Structure 1
Amino acid sequence: MYDQSVIVFERYLQRLSVMMNRLEAYAETASKQEAILQTSLAPGMFPLVQQARTAIGFSMRTCYPLAGLEIPEIESHEDTVADLRRQIKEAERYLQALSARNFTKAAEREIVTTAGFKELRLGGETFLTQYALPNFFFHLSMAYAILRQCGVPVGKGDFDGFHEYPAGFAF
Protein backbone atom coordinates (compact mmCIF):
# COMPACT_ATOMS: atom_id res chain seq x y z
CA MET A 1 0.00 0.00 0.00
CA TYR A 2 3.07 2.23 0.13
CA ASP A 3 2.95 2.86 -3.63
CA GLN A 4 -0.77 3.60 -3.55
CA SER A 5 -0.38 6.10 -0.72
CA VAL A 6 3.05 7.67 -0.18
CA ILE A 7 4.04 7.77 -3.84
CA VAL A 8 0.67 9.24 -4.88
CA PHE A 9 0.74 11.90 -2.16
CA GLU A 10 4.33 12.87 -2.96
CA ARG A 11 3.43 13.39 -6.62
CA TYR A 12 0.33 15.43 -5.96
CA LEU A 13 1.87 17.56 -3.24
CA GLN A 14 4.41 18.50 -5.93
CA ARG A 15 1.47 19.37 -8.20
CA LEU A 16 0.04 21.60 -5.46
CA SER A 17 3.42 23.33 -5.31
CA VAL A 18 3.25 23.90 -9.09
CA MET A 19 -0.18 25.47 -8.65
CA MET A 20 1.27 27.76 -5.96
CA ASN A 21 3.95 28.78 -8.50
CA ARG A 22 1.17 29.75 -10.90
CA LEU A 23 -0.58 31.74 -8.18
CA GLU A 24 2.60 33.67 -7.37
CA ALA A 25 3.29 34.44 -11.03
CA TYR A 26 -0.29 35.61 -11.58
CA ALA A 27 -0.77 37.61 -8.38
CA GLU A 28 2.54 39.38 -7.93
CA THR A 29 1.60 41.33 -4.80
CA ALA A 30 1.00 39.88 -1.36
CA SER A 31 -2.43 41.54 -1.20
CA LYS A 32 -3.56 39.90 -4.46
CA GLN A 33 -2.26 36.53 -3.29
CA GLU A 34 -4.02 36.96 0.05
CA ALA A 35 -7.32 37.79 -1.67
CA ILE A 36 -7.10 34.65 -3.80
CA LEU A 37 -6.07 32.51 -0.82
CA GLN A 38 -9.22 33.71 1.01
CA THR A 39 -11.54 32.93 -1.94
CA SER A 40 -13.99 30.05 -1.77
CA LEU A 41 -16.27 28.64 -4.44
CA ALA A 42 -19.47 29.09 -2.46
CA PRO A 43 -20.61 30.34 0.94
CA GLY A 44 -19.75 27.88 3.68
CA MET A 45 -16.94 26.24 1.71
CA PHE A 46 -13.31 26.40 2.76
CA PRO A 47 -11.25 29.11 1.06
CA LEU A 48 -8.26 28.16 -1.08
CA VAL A 49 -5.78 28.35 1.80
CA GLN A 50 -7.80 25.86 3.88
CA GLN A 51 -8.44 23.57 0.89
CA ALA A 52 -4.67 23.38 0.38
CA ARG A 53 -3.98 22.84 4.08
CA THR A 54 -6.58 20.10 4.25
CA ALA A 55 -5.07 18.32 1.24
CA ILE A 56 -1.61 18.56 2.82
CA GLY A 57 -3.01 17.28 6.10
CA PHE A 58 -4.70 14.31 4.42
CA SER A 59 -1.31 13.07 3.23
CA MET A 60 -0.24 12.78 6.89
CA ARG A 61 -3.67 11.63 8.15
CA THR A 62 -3.49 8.79 5.63
CA CYS A 63 0.06 7.52 5.46
CA TYR A 64 1.03 7.61 9.10
CA PRO A 65 -1.95 5.60 10.42
CA LEU A 66 -1.49 3.10 7.58
CA ALA A 67 2.14 2.76 8.67
CA GLY A 68 0.99 2.23 12.27
CA LEU A 69 2.60 5.48 13.39
CA GLU A 70 1.39 8.61 15.15
CA ILE A 71 0.39 11.41 12.79
CA PRO A 72 2.97 14.22 12.78
CA GLU A 73 1.55 17.70 13.16
CA ILE A 74 2.23 20.36 10.58
CA GLU A 75 1.46 23.78 12.01
CA SER A 76 -0.05 26.64 10.04
CA HIS A 77 1.59 29.95 10.83
CA GLU A 78 -0.03 32.36 8.38
CA ASP A 79 -2.31 32.49 5.37
CA THR A 80 0.41 32.97 2.75
CA VAL A 81 1.75 31.10 -0.24
CA ALA A 82 5.12 30.94 1.52
CA ASP A 83 3.60 29.18 4.52
CA LEU A 84 1.72 26.73 2.29
CA ARG A 85 5.03 25.98 0.55
CA ARG A 86 6.64 25.34 3.94
CA GLN A 87 3.82 22.98 4.87
CA ILE A 88 4.13 21.11 1.56
CA LYS A 89 7.90 20.71 2.08
CA GLU A 90 7.38 19.53 5.65
CA ALA A 91 4.80 16.96 4.51
CA GLU A 92 7.17 15.77 1.78
CA ARG A 93 9.93 15.26 4.37
CA TYR A 94 7.56 13.27 6.60
CA LEU A 95 6.48 11.12 3.65
CA GLN A 96 10.10 10.51 2.63
CA ALA A 97 10.79 9.21 6.16
CA LEU A 98 8.40 6.30 5.51
CA SER A 99 9.40 3.10 3.73
CA ALA A 100 7.50 0.24 2.16
CA ARG A 101 8.33 -1.85 5.24
CA ASN A 102 6.12 0.43 7.33
CA PHE A 103 3.15 -0.67 5.23
CA THR A 104 3.46 -4.47 5.45
CA LYS A 105 0.31 -4.74 7.61
CA ALA A 106 -1.42 -1.59 6.39
CA ALA A 107 -4.36 -3.33 4.73
CA GLU A 108 -5.15 -5.22 7.95
CA ARG A 109 -4.99 -2.22 10.28
CA GLU A 110 -8.17 -0.68 11.60
CA ILE A 111 -7.94 3.06 11.11
CA VAL A 112 -9.97 5.28 13.41
CA THR A 113 -10.55 8.77 12.06
CA THR A 114 -13.17 11.45 11.81
CA ALA A 115 -15.15 12.55 8.78
CA GLY A 116 -16.46 15.94 9.82
CA PHE A 117 -18.07 15.15 13.15
CA LYS A 118 -18.49 11.42 12.49
CA GLU A 119 -16.06 8.82 13.83
CA LEU A 120 -15.04 6.17 11.31
CA ARG A 121 -13.47 2.77 11.85
CA LEU A 122 -12.22 1.39 8.56
CA GLY A 123 -9.89 -1.35 7.43
CA GLY A 124 -6.67 -0.02 5.92
CA GLU A 125 -7.53 -0.73 2.31
CA THR A 126 -11.04 0.72 2.59
CA PHE A 127 -9.65 3.71 4.48
CA LEU A 128 -7.14 4.44 1.70
CA THR A 129 -9.21 3.73 -1.40
CA GLN A 130 -12.69 4.82 -0.35
CA TYR A 131 -12.05 7.58 2.17
CA ALA A 132 -8.56 9.11 2.22
CA LEU A 133 -7.62 9.34 -1.45
CA PRO A 134 -11.04 10.65 -2.52
CA ASN A 135 -10.90 13.29 0.23
CA PHE A 136 -7.37 14.34 -0.67
CA PHE A 137 -8.33 14.73 -4.32
CA PHE A 138 -11.55 16.54 -3.41
CA HIS A 139 -9.59 19.25 -1.54
CA LEU A 140 -6.86 19.40 -4.19
CA SER A 141 -9.55 19.78 -6.87
CA MET A 142 -11.25 22.54 -4.91
CA ALA A 143 -7.92 24.40 -4.67
CA TYR A 144 -7.50 24.01 -8.44
CA ALA A 145 -11.08 25.18 -9.09
CA ILE A 146 -10.66 28.28 -6.91
CA LEU A 147 -7.45 29.18 -8.73
CA ARG A 148 -9.24 28.83 -12.07
CA GLN A 149 -12.22 30.85 -10.82
CA CYS A 150 -9.83 33.65 -9.80
CA GLY A 151 -8.21 33.73 -13.25
CA VAL A 152 -4.95 32.02 -12.31
CA PRO A 153 -3.76 30.26 -15.50
CA VAL A 154 -3.71 26.68 -14.24
CA GLY A 155 -4.66 23.75 -16.41
CA LYS A 156 -5.04 20.02 -16.32
CA GLY A 157 -1.30 19.58 -16.86
CA ASP A 158 -0.60 21.63 -13.74
CA PHE A 159 -3.00 19.40 -11.81
CA ASP A 160 -1.77 15.99 -12.95
CA GLY A 161 1.64 16.65 -14.51
CA PHE A 162 0.83 14.46 -17.50
CA HIS A 163 -1.30 16.54 -19.85
CA GLU A 164 0.18 19.04 -22.29
CA TYR A 165 -1.72 21.46 -24.48
CA PRO A 166 -0.57 24.08 -26.98
CA ALA A 167 -0.51 27.69 -25.78
CA GLY A 168 -3.94 29.27 -25.78
CA PHE A 169 -5.78 25.93 -25.81
CA ALA A 170 -8.81 25.95 -23.52
CA PHE A 171 -8.40 23.12 -21.04
Structure 2
Amino acid sequence: MSDVPPINIYSMTVPVLLNGIKNLTHILDKAEAYAAEKKIDPSVVIEARLALDMHPLRRQIQSVSDTAKGAVARLSGTENPSMPDTETTFAELKERLQKTVDFIKSVDPALFEGAETRDVVLKTPAREINFTGYSYVIGFVLPNLFFHITTAYAILRHNGVDLGKADYLRGG
Protein backbone atom coordinates (compact mmCIF):
# COMPACT_ATOMS: atom_id res chain seq x y z
CA MET A 1 0.00 0.00 0.00
CA SER A 2 1.34 3.41 -0.98
CA ASP A 3 1.35 6.48 1.24
CA VAL A 4 0.85 8.69 -1.83
CA PRO A 5 -2.65 10.21 -1.89
CA PRO A 6 -4.58 10.49 -5.13
CA ILE A 7 -3.45 13.51 -7.11
CA ASN A 8 -6.07 16.23 -7.13
CA ILE A 9 -6.23 19.94 -6.38
CA TYR A 10 -6.59 19.31 -2.65
CA SER A 11 -3.55 17.04 -2.46
CA MET A 12 -1.53 19.40 -4.69
CA THR A 13 -2.36 22.42 -2.57
CA VAL A 14 -3.33 21.93 1.07
CA PRO A 15 -0.39 19.77 2.22
CA VAL A 16 2.05 22.12 0.46
CA LEU A 17 0.48 25.20 2.05
CA LEU A 18 0.51 23.64 5.52
CA ASN A 19 4.10 22.46 5.18
CA GLY A 20 5.26 25.86 3.96
CA ILE A 21 3.57 27.62 6.87
CA LYS A 22 5.04 25.10 9.34
CA ASN A 23 8.53 25.71 7.98
CA LEU A 24 8.04 29.48 7.96
CA THR A 25 6.91 29.37 11.60
CA HIS A 26 10.10 27.46 12.45
CA ILE A 27 12.13 30.11 10.63
CA LEU A 28 10.36 32.85 12.60
CA ASP A 29 11.11 31.00 15.84
CA LYS A 30 14.79 31.07 14.95
CA ALA A 31 14.61 34.76 14.03
CA GLU A 32 12.93 35.60 17.33
CA ALA A 33 15.58 33.66 19.28
CA TYR A 34 18.35 35.37 17.29
CA ALA A 35 16.96 38.84 18.07
CA ALA A 36 16.74 37.98 21.78
CA GLU A 37 20.22 36.44 21.88
CA LYS A 38 21.82 39.41 20.09
CA LYS A 39 19.68 41.95 21.99
CA ILE A 40 18.26 43.33 18.75
CA ASP A 41 14.94 45.14 18.94
CA PRO A 42 12.53 42.64 17.34
CA SER A 43 10.91 45.42 15.31
CA VAL A 44 14.21 45.94 13.49
CA VAL A 45 14.11 42.32 12.31
CA ILE A 46 10.39 42.41 11.52
CA GLU A 47 10.84 45.56 9.41
CA ALA A 48 14.00 44.29 7.65
CA ARG A 49 13.99 44.07 3.87
CA LEU A 50 16.42 43.08 1.13
CA ALA A 51 15.96 46.23 -0.93
CA LEU A 52 14.49 49.63 -0.19
CA ASP A 53 11.61 49.14 -2.63
CA MET A 54 10.74 45.69 -1.29
CA HIS A 55 8.22 44.76 1.36
CA PRO A 56 9.64 44.02 4.83
CA LEU A 57 9.66 40.64 6.57
CA ARG A 58 6.29 41.35 8.19
CA ARG A 59 4.62 41.77 4.79
CA GLN A 60 6.25 38.59 3.46
CA ILE A 61 4.60 36.65 6.31
CA GLN A 62 1.25 38.35 5.70
CA SER A 63 1.53 37.50 1.99
CA VAL A 64 2.10 33.82 2.78
CA SER A 65 -1.04 33.89 4.92
CA ASP A 66 -3.04 35.74 2.26
CA THR A 67 -1.90 33.37 -0.48
CA ALA A 68 -2.70 30.24 1.52
CA LYS A 69 -6.10 31.24 2.90
CA GLY A 70 -7.13 32.85 -0.38
CA ALA A 71 -6.25 29.73 -2.32
CA VAL A 72 -8.19 27.45 -0.02
CA ALA A 73 -11.21 29.77 -0.02
CA ARG A 74 -11.27 30.21 -3.80
CA LEU A 75 -10.71 26.53 -4.56
CA SER A 76 -13.26 25.29 -2.04
CA GLY A 77 -15.88 27.98 -2.62
CA THR A 78 -15.73 29.12 1.01
CA GLU A 79 -15.41 32.56 2.53
CA ASN A 80 -11.87 33.94 2.71
CA PRO A 81 -11.33 35.04 6.32
CA SER A 82 -10.36 38.68 6.66
CA MET A 83 -7.10 39.31 8.46
CA PRO A 84 -6.06 42.96 8.61
CA ASP A 85 -2.34 43.49 8.17
CA THR A 86 -1.70 44.86 11.66
CA GLU A 87 0.91 42.43 13.00
CA THR A 88 4.03 44.08 14.44
CA THR A 89 5.55 41.37 16.67
CA PHE A 90 6.82 37.84 16.20
CA ALA A 91 3.99 36.57 18.39
CA GLU A 92 1.37 38.33 16.26
CA LEU A 93 2.91 37.07 13.01
CA LYS A 94 3.00 33.49 14.31
CA GLU A 95 -0.57 33.84 15.58
CA ARG A 96 -1.66 34.92 12.09
CA LEU A 97 0.06 31.90 10.57
CA GLN A 98 -1.69 29.65 13.11
CA LYS A 99 -5.08 31.21 12.30
CA THR A 100 -4.33 30.52 8.64
CA VAL A 101 -3.53 26.87 9.43
CA ASP A 102 -6.69 26.57 11.53
CA PHE A 103 -8.78 27.93 8.65
CA ILE A 104 -7.17 25.59 6.10
CA LYS A 105 -7.72 22.58 8.34
CA SER A 106 -11.35 23.57 8.93
CA VAL A 107 -12.29 23.31 5.25
CA ASP A 108 -13.83 20.01 4.20
CA PRO A 109 -11.63 18.38 1.51
CA ALA A 110 -14.82 17.35 -0.34
CA LEU A 111 -15.37 21.03 -1.19
CA PHE A 112 -12.34 20.83 -3.49
CA GLU A 113 -14.06 18.29 -5.76
CA GLY A 114 -13.99 19.61 -9.33
CA ALA A 115 -11.81 22.57 -8.37
CA GLU A 116 -9.35 21.72 -11.16
CA THR A 117 -11.75 23.13 -13.74
CA ARG A 118 -13.56 25.64 -11.54
CA ASP A 119 -13.28 29.28 -12.64
CA VAL A 120 -11.13 31.32 -10.27
CA VAL A 121 -11.04 35.09 -10.48
CA LEU A 122 -8.24 36.88 -8.69
CA LYS A 123 -9.01 40.55 -8.16
CA THR A 124 -6.07 42.90 -7.80
CA PRO A 125 -6.20 46.68 -7.46
CA ALA A 126 -5.23 46.97 -11.14
CA ARG A 127 -7.23 44.17 -12.77
CA GLU A 128 -8.94 40.81 -12.60
CA ILE A 129 -7.05 37.67 -13.55
CA ASN A 130 -9.03 34.62 -14.69
CA PHE A 131 -7.80 31.10 -14.07
CA THR A 132 -9.04 27.56 -13.91
CA GLY A 133 -8.41 26.02 -10.51
CA TYR A 134 -5.49 24.05 -11.92
CA SER A 135 -3.82 27.03 -13.63
CA TYR A 136 -4.38 29.11 -10.48
CA VAL A 137 -2.57 26.55 -8.32
CA ILE A 138 0.41 25.97 -10.61
CA GLY A 139 0.68 29.47 -12.08
CA PHE A 140 -0.05 31.64 -9.06
CA VAL A 141 -0.59 29.96 -5.68
CA LEU A 142 2.48 27.75 -5.42
CA PRO A 143 4.94 30.18 -7.06
CA ASN A 144 3.62 33.05 -4.91
CA LEU A 145 3.79 30.97 -1.72
CA PHE A 146 7.39 29.94 -2.37
CA PHE A 147 8.40 33.46 -3.42
CA HIS A 148 7.29 34.94 -0.11
CA ILE A 149 8.67 32.12 2.05
CA THR A 150 12.00 32.31 0.21
CA THR A 151 12.08 36.10 0.53
CA ALA A 152 11.40 35.87 4.28
CA TYR A 153 14.19 33.29 4.57
CA ALA A 154 16.56 35.51 2.54
CA ILE A 155 15.78 38.63 4.61
CA LEU A 156 16.54 36.76 7.82
CA ARG A 157 19.61 34.98 6.49
CA HIS A 158 20.96 38.27 5.10
CA ASN A 159 20.53 39.82 8.54
CA GLY A 160 22.51 37.14 10.35
CA VAL A 161 19.92 34.57 11.45
CA ASP A 162 21.56 31.13 11.41
CA LEU A 163 19.40 29.44 8.80
CA GLY A 164 20.24 26.71 6.37
CA LYS A 165 18.54 24.75 3.67
CA ALA A 166 17.31 22.23 6.25
CA ASP A 167 15.30 25.00 7.95
CA TYR A 168 13.54 25.72 4.64
CA LEU A 169 13.02 22.07 3.73
CA ARG A 170 11.91 20.56 7.04
CA GLY A 171 9.51 18.16 5.38
CA GLY A 172 5.90 17.21 6.01
Shared fold (TM-score, shorter chain, > 0.5): yes
TM-score (norm 2): 0.88
Residue 45 of structure 1 corresponds to 54
| Superposition misfits of 4+ residues, deviation over 2 angstroms | 29-32, 74-78, 114-118
Runs (5+) with no aligned partner, structure 2: 1-8
Residue 143 of structure 2 corresponds to 134
8 A contact 1:75–1:87 mirrored in 2: no
Question: Which of 12, 19, 23 is the aligned partner of 1:4?
Answer: 12
Structure 2: how far apart are the matches of 1:116 and 1:55? 18
Runs (5+) with no aligned partner, structure 1: 163-171
8 A contact 1:76–1:83 mirrored in 2: no
Output aligned runs, 1:130-169, within 5 Å.
130-162=139-171
Deviations 1:12-35 (A, max 9, x none): 101011001101110017852210
**Greater CA drift, 23-32 or 149-158:** 23-32
How big is the shift at 1:4? Answer: 1.1
Residue 106 of structure 2 corresponds to 97
Secondary structure at 1:112's aligned position in 2? strand
- CA RMSD in angstroms, aligned pairs only: 1.6
Structure 1: how far apart are the matches of 2:55 and 2:125? 13
TM-score (norm 1): 0.89
Do residues 26 (structure 1) and 34 (structure 2) align? yes
Structure 1: how far apart are the matches of 2:56 and 2:24? 15
Aligned length: 162
8 A contact 2:64–2:149 mirrored in 1: yes
How big is the shift at 1:118? Answer: 3.0
Secondary structure at 2:116's aligned position in 1? helix
* 1:126 to 1:140, Cα distance in 2 relative to 1, 3 A: same
Deviations 1:36-69 (A, max 9, x none): 1111111211000101110111001111100011
Output aligned runs, 1:73-92, within 5 Å.
73-92=82-101
Amino acid at match of 2:130: R
8 A contact 2:58–2:87 mirrored in 1: no
How big is the shift at 1:119? Answer: 1.6
Residue 134 of structure 2 corresponds to 125
Question: Which of 11, 14, 22 is the aligned partner of 1:14?
Answer: 22
Deviations 1:124-169 (A, max 9, x none): 000011111101110111000000011001111111104xxxxxxx
8 A contact 1:41–1:146 mirrored in 2: yes
* 1:156 to 1:126, Cα distance in 2 relative to 1, 3 A: same
